[in-house]
Chains A and B, each alone.
Chain A
Amino acid sequence: MAVITYREALNQALAEEMERDDSVFLMGEEVAEYDGAYKVSKGLLDQFGERRVVDSPISELGFAGLGVGAAMVGLRPIIEFMTFNFSILALDQVLNSAAKMLYMSGGQISCPMVFRGPTGAALQLSAQHSQACEIWYVHAPGIKVVTPATPADAKGLLKASIRDNDPVAFMEGELLYNLKGEVPDPDDGDFIIPLGVADLKREGEHISIITHGKMVHVALQAASKLEKDGIEADVLDLRTLRPLDVDAILATVRKTNRAVYLEEGWPWGGVGSQIVSIIQDEAFDDLDAPVVRVTQADVPMPYAKNLEQIAKPSVDRVIAACNRVLYRNS
């Protein structure tokens, strides 16, 4: 095991997969000469050359679509969005081409490709730069959605995503890039985490906090505070939203009988809506309380610090939600 950052973990995954399979290439804004806006592709241009590490102009719809086209004929593009906010310009090609190609073509033409970059809010970047975009992607059948929270997950899941035969939206977090954690050494063999397997990041018996992506860390902080209060929480990190590890969700709910869903995005049509629907459908009799969701406030993200703070999901709001589900007075 080595302790490396989330950024380095992604970089390793990219380098290893590009080394392993020369149909893999990386394309996006500033990915080559500039090492990526968040330096995830550092050194890759030197290592793999400009045919495989391609700087694109600011043409998200165009280069996403070119990626789809290249994938249709057997290459494995990795399309980097400087942030997923800008992928909104590319959604036509993601949703109308990549996600549907295999189905529309009756199983003939697949799109093995990855769309990746940071999603969600950083600090005071305001409405157009602070959006949790997973919901745009997760809504569409045909595309897989991966949201790693730790360096190890980032590496293992990115490698699996690149090898996957379907389009994968791989959503990172700007505030996670510097996060350090243990990651298996490359010398100890290929480290792959299969898509569709959730991970219990912390074990407890009283309540389940289910979440994904960057919010895993908020959930863990809330769980350690609750522990001081005698409450032990399971923290289940879904890791991939599609495919979804329904068994893991049901297992934790059946264990604790109480659940909170935490996500960074807006409440309407949120990931949590789907999870809550699955829980009430399949584990209704196991519940001792309604499932409560913690989300961003239902507003475009404001710039002002005080407004941004209350708009974002917080440790305190998670604790309050847990208390509600536990019928406790906080």
Chain B
Amino acid sequence: MTFPPSPPLPDESHARALLRSMILIRRFEEKCAELYTRQKIRGFLHLYIGEEAVAAGSLPVLEPRDSVVATYREHGQALARGVPATTIMAEMYGRKEGCARGRGGSMHIFDAETRFYGGNAIVAGGLPLAAGLALAAQMKGEDRVTACYFGDGAMAEGEFHESMNLAALWDLPLLFCCENNLYAMGTALAIAHAETDLALRATSYGMPAWAVDGMDVLAVEDATRRAVQSIRAGGGPHFLEFRTYRFRPHSMFDPELYRSREEVSEWKKRDPIPLLADRMRQAGMLDDDALAALESEVTAEVEEAVTFAEEGSWEPVEELTRFVHSETGGAP
């Protein structure tokens, strides 16, 4: 697929922010992988490495009043949304100081403050929820867009199709962000989908949809901006298919027999981080020193998150049953 030419570089501080966001996600997750092997983080851990441009390019387009729903591969979206790295890391440690008080773990990052509504470990499970958030905004007459992230694999589920139809039928202010990384675990796109042009399928529901180079953070940002503007103007739901690639295994256990090394290394040539960094260098916006400064800034932020998690505490076991029901009770 050929994409339209990449948008021009923005000004230096904006370009730097995009680069920083991607590097933060990358370094944060590299640290997660290390902590996983040290058994500090347990359970399932799904890394976003390779796909950073999607979260880093799209989420800053949203306003704080907007809402976000993601999947179990959601550290990137959470960080780009502004959920503090400290509370995400503490959550993965299972700490009381974690954003879900240790009850959720890596797959269930929730942060009401930034309107980050999970963290859903059921493939396609977040889609109807996102449509519901959008419906609520519409009913209350609020100017809020909901962005919903999901994988190519989710498009085989009924929950996806029902959500698409409902969103289009009721003109919901919803942005469908499909992260097409070509695989659902070990299942290649072509094995799972009769029509592999995912944006084309979305148009059949009667909503604008197009494919975007998901390795180019500027293209992601540009597409998201256009879609969000149109949604805010009453244009109803939009669908963006971000063509991207995960560089790592599906989760921490995966021999990756379903793809060749060559394929992975081909995609790594389009690593979103150097892709932007090189353009910035060429434009004189970045040199070795500036990059090193950025890296050390990010490293400090990741280290701070680890320290926060290390120094955290366990939820006392007496609190086990807390939050099964709400603490405020019902109507009198």
Contact = CB atoms under 8 A, between A and B. Distances in A.
Interface of A: 29-30, 33-34, 37, 55, 57-62, 85-86, 89, 123-129, 297-300, 302-307, 310-311
A192 to B, nearest CB: 33
A123 B41 CA distance: 12
B108 A303 contact: yes
Given A58-B192, A304-B315, A123 B43 contact: yes
Given A33-B186, A126-B105, A304-B314, A299 B42 contact: no
A241 B185 CA distance: 33
B184 A306 contact: no
Interface string B116-160: 000011111100000000000000000000000000011011110
Given A89-B159, A304-B102, A304-B105, 5 more contacts: A37-B185, A57-B193, A302-B102, A303-B103, A307-B314
B107 interface: yes
Nearest to A311: B320
Nearest to A130: B43
**Which of A60, A128, A297, A307 is the most central at the interface, judged by chain B CB atoms within 10 Å of its CB?**
A307
B187 interface: yes
A125 B94 CA distance: 11
5 residue pairs, one from A and one from B, having the closest CB atoms: A303-B105, A304-B94, A57-B156, A304-B102, A57-B192
Nearest to A301: B103
A187 to B, nearest CB: 32
Contact of A124 (B43, B121, B123, B193): B43
Given A34-B186, A129-B121, A303-B43, A124 B317 contact: no
B320 A299 contact: yes
B157 A59 contact: yes
Interface in B70-121: 91, 94-95, 100, 102-105, 107-108, 120-121
A116 B186 CA distance: 20
B157 A33 contact: no
Contact of A129 (B44, B158, B185, B186): B44
B321 interface: yes
B331 interface: no
A58 B151 CA distance: 11
A128 B43 contact: no
B233 interface: no
Given A303-B94, A307-B320, A58 B191 contact: no
A33 B256 CA distance: 12
Contacts of B321: 297-299
B258 interface: yes
Contacts of B123: 58, 86
Contacts of A298: 321, 324
A180 B318 CA distance: 37
B156 A124 contact: no
A306 B318 CA distance: 11
Interface string B289-332: 00000000000000000000000001101011100100000000
A128 B157 CA distance: 17
Contacts of B154: 58
Contact of B258 (A34, A61, A86, A128): A34
A123 to B, nearest CB: 7
Contacts of B193: 57
A123 B103 CA distance: 13
A125 B252 CA distance: 13
A90 to B, nearest CB: 10
Nearest to B123: A58
Contact of B104 (A58, A62, A126, A299): A126
B257 interface: yes
B103 A125 contact: no
Given A124-B94, A126-B43, A126-B104, A58 B124 contact: yes
A300 B317 CA distance: 14
A124 B42 contact: yes
A126 B122 CA distance: 12
A310 B94 contact: no
Contacts of A89: 122, 157-159
B122 A305 contact: no
Contacts of A125: 43-44, 105
Contacts of B107: 126, 128-129
Given A34-B185, A304-B94, A58 B103 contact: no
Contacts of A57: 153, 156, 184, 187, 191-193
A126 B153 contact: no
Contacts of A306: 94, 314-315, 317
A34 B192 CA distance: 14
A126 B45 CA distance: 12
A70 B320 CA distance: 45
A127 B184 contact: no
A152 B194 CA distance: 41
A201 to B, nearest CB: 30
